């Protein structure tokens, strides 16, 4: 009975309390007022945060469940300058086919026997060998030419005798000075033969002659006897030529295009980084370039999409002039063009690879000099690209593991006292760095973060292999402007401040940069 009475009394008290018989809130604050600190994380790029730190090289895959990405800067010097040489030289054949020389002046009939009184007919022996001088004006301007070995279609002289060879046979010997070059031998009754000049080296001032000897079978009443020369074109394997003569055959040179495609596998988060190159030069190093030959052409660099196709309008060109100007600068937009290497690397959409095209060749010879060329006149050029990295702009993409967005808790106290933002930087690399960290309540304009009046930045430098903390105090308005929209976005601009070290390659795959930023807010609790 006593327990039942106590239960009824307890229920009555609860009913009175829940029905509002007692006041829900005190009419005035009677308790103490105190200060409370709240921490709001803004950026966390640390090694223990799912490996979202910025790796300079290709990071070791410590967690096989996560695909880790880096900037691939192993073996890069501390000034973030690096070079790349082509695996194989670029090669271009200036001559797509051998030069041919058509001979006109040595063709036609040559008289060797004059019989004014007529001849009764029969075999007529030459009283002595007959020498016929030959000149080839088409070789004027060439110091010398070496003819190809093709004696079927080129490099021969067909001979037709006006009378067949007589009883002693007949010969025609091609000579240079006293040296015999080739001999056409006609057996008795033959009237056709060939002199081969394949493979011969012939100087433009060569003392060429044809020496006739033997006997001819002459018909009765014939008063003149000789032979007819029908030369095939000369096909030139190599030649030495003057600058003036080169101009007359210049159309035979150039025009071939060489395409070298190098594909750079960008990390999955490549769109989060914008590279700004301080310098970028491409140097052509001739491995095989004939002396006194000047080569002109055009370099084209274009961005390709994931299918290996050119992205429309994403290219730039540079004129090539070798050997006088071996290095081309790839930074700076040339007059009449829209891009340089920096703008291509940072274009949207980003290219998946770059294609370097070297073509539109033309050539000339240094004035008053001579040039020796051998078909196919292969020019071999190695190349070296040297680049110096100015800065990296890290603007995280939305929706990723490191989305660049920090959500502000809805229950952050409103009785503001003061706020500080802490920037903790851990640089494990041997390079000194300058960082510009932007925070904004709105998505950041990567190209111009200062365009947002509510955004603010912190600039700081950090020495090699060191850790540093920087603190900024915010006014109530600054803190409110930054946090009221409920999200905070960030952008990190990293600039190298180190000079090159004597030994190359101080960066390794283990070097990384950690950036941690948080806000610490002091608020009044139970403010009177």
Segment 268-327, tens digit of pLDDT: 555 667 778 888 898 988 888 888 988 888 899 998 888 889 999 999 999 999 888 889
Q: Does some domain include residue 8?
A: no
Residue 294 — φ and ψ, nearest 5°? -105, 125
Does position 3 have pLDDT exceeding 80, yes or no? no
Q: Are residues 446 and 434 in the same domain?
A: yes
Q: Are residues 129 and 158 in the same domain?
A: yes
**Domain endpoint, select from 199, 217, 243:** 243
**Domain endpoint, select from 187, 216, 243:** 243
Q: Does some domain include residue 32?
A: no
Q: Does some domain include residue 13?
A: no
For residues 412-419, give the mean pLDDT. 66
Q: Are residues 408 and 512 in the same domain?
A: yes
Q: Are residues 231 and 261 in the same domain?
A: no
Report pLDDT digits (tens) over 422-465: 999 988 888 888 888 999 888 888 778 888 888 888 999 999 88
Place of tokens 């055009």: 298
Rounded CA gap, 517 and 174, in Å? 92
Report pLDDT digits (tens) over 192-224: 999 999 999 999 889 999 999 999 998 887 888
Report pLDDT digits (tens) over 419-434: 889 999 988 888 888 8
Number of domains in the chain: 3
225-251 burial, b at 16+ Cβ within 10 Å, e below that, comes to: bbbebebbebbbbbbebbbebbeebee
Q: Are residues 450 and 358 in the same domain?
A: no
Rounded CA gap, 290 and 287, in Å? 10
Reported confidence tier of residue 396, pLDDT bands at 50, 70, 90: low
Q: Are residues 285 and 181 in the same domain?
A: no
Q: Does some domain include residue 20?
A: no
Q: Are residues 191 and 221 in the same domain?
A: yes
Q: The domain containing residue 455 runs over which residues?
A: 38-80+401-525
For residues 407-418, give the mean pLDDT. 61
**Domain endpoint, select from 208, 243, 278:** 243
Q: Does some domain include residue 231?
A: yes
Residue 508 is given by DSSP the state -
Look over the chain and give the mean of its residue pLDDT values, rounded to a whole number: 79
Rounded CA gap, 432 and 441, in Å? 30
Q: What sign for the dihedral angle of Cα 11, 15, 21, 26? A: positive
Q: Are residues 323 and 457 in the same domain?
A: no
Q: Does some domain include residue 159?
A: yes
Q: Which two tokens stand for residue 293?
A: 């030959």
Cα distances from 434 to residues 130, 396, 428, 493, in angstroms, run 91, 19, 14, 8
Reported confidence tier of residue 14, pLDDT bands at 50, 70, 90: very low
Q: Are residues 237 and 294 in the same domain?
A: no
Q: Does some domain include residue 293?
A: yes
Q: Are residues 384 and 410 in the same domain?
A: no
Reported confidence tier of residue 528, pLDDT bands at 50, 70, 90: low
Does position 59 have pLDDT exceeding 60, yes or no? no
Q: Does some domain include residue 2?
A: no
CATH of the domain at 65: 2.60.120
Query: Secondary structure of the chain: what % helix, strand, coil (to 5)?
Result: 10, 50, 40
Q: Are residues 223 and 266 in the same domain?
A: no
Q: Are residues 90 and 109 in the same domain?
A: no
Reported confidence tier of residue 148, pLDDT bands at 50, 70, 90: very high
Q: Which two tokens stand for residue 218?
A: 């002459």
Please name every residue paired with 472 in a beta bridge, in sequence order, or none if there are none: 421
């Amino acid at each position: 009975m006593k327990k039942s009475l106590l239960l009824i009394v307890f229920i009555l008290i609860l009913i009175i309390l829940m029905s509002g018989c007692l006041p829900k809130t005190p009419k005035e604050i009677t308790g103490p007022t105190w200060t409370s600190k709240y921490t709001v994380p803004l950026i966390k790029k640390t090694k223990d945060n799912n490996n979202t730190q910025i790796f300079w090289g290709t990071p070791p895959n410590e967690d096989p469940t996560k695909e880790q990405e880096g900037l691939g800067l192993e073996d890069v010097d501390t000034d973030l300058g690096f070079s790349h040489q082509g695996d194989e030289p670029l090669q271009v054949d200036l001559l797509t086919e051998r030069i041919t020389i058509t001979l006109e002046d040595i063709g036609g009939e040559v008289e060797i026997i004059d019989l004014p009184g007529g001849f009764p007919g029969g075999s007529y022996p030459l009283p002595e060998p007959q020498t016929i001088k030959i000149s080839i004006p088409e070789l004027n301007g060439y110091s010398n030419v070496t003819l190809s070995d093709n004696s079927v279609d080129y490099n021969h002289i067909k001979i037709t005798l006006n009378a067949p060879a007589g009883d002693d046979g007949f010969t025609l010997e091609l000579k240079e000075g006293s040296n015999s070059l080739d001999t056409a031998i006609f057996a008795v009754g033959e009237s056709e033969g060939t002199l081969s000049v394949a493979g011969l080296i012939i100087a433009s001032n060569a003392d060429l002659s044809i020496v006739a000897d033997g006997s001819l079978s002459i018909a009765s009443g014939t008063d003149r006897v000789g032979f007819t020369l029908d030369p095939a074109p000369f096909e030139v394997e190599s030649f030495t030529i003057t600058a003036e003569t080169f101009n007359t055959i210049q159309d035979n040179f150039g025009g071939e295009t060489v395409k070298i495609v190098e594909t750079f596998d960008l990390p999955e988060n490549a769109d989060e980084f914008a590279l700004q190159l301080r310098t970028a030069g491409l140097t052509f190093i001739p491995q095989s370039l004939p002396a006194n030959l000047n080569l002109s052409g055009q370099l084209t660099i274009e961005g390709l999409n994931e299918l290996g196709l050119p992205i429309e309008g994403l290219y730039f060109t540079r004129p090539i002039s070798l050997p006088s100007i071996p290095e081309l600068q790839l930074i700076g937009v040339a007059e009449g063009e829209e891009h340089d290497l920096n703008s291509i690397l940072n274009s949207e959409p980003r290219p998946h690879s770059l294609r370097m095209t070297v073509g539109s060749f033309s050539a000339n010879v240094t004035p008053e000099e001579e040039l020796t060329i051998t078909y196919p006149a292969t020019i071999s050029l190695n190349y070296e690209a040297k680049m110096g990295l100015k800065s990296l702009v890290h603007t995280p993409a939305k929706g990723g593991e490191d989305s660049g967005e920090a959500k502000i808790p809805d229950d952050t106290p409103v009785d503001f006292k003061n706020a500080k933002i802490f920037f903790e930087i851990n640089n494990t690399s041997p390079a000194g760095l300058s960082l510009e960290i932007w925070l904004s309540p709105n998505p950041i304009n990567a190209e111009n973060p200062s365009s947002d009046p509510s955004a603010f930045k912190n600039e700081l430098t950090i020495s090699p292999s060191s850790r540093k903390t920087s603190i900024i105090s915010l006014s109530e308005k600054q803190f409110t402007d930054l946090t009221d929209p409920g999200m905070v976005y960030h952008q990190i601009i990293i600039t190298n401040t180190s000079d090159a070290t004597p030994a190359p390659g101080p960066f390794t795959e283990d070097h990384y940069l950690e950036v941690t930023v948080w806000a610490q807010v002091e608020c009044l609790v139970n403010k009177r």
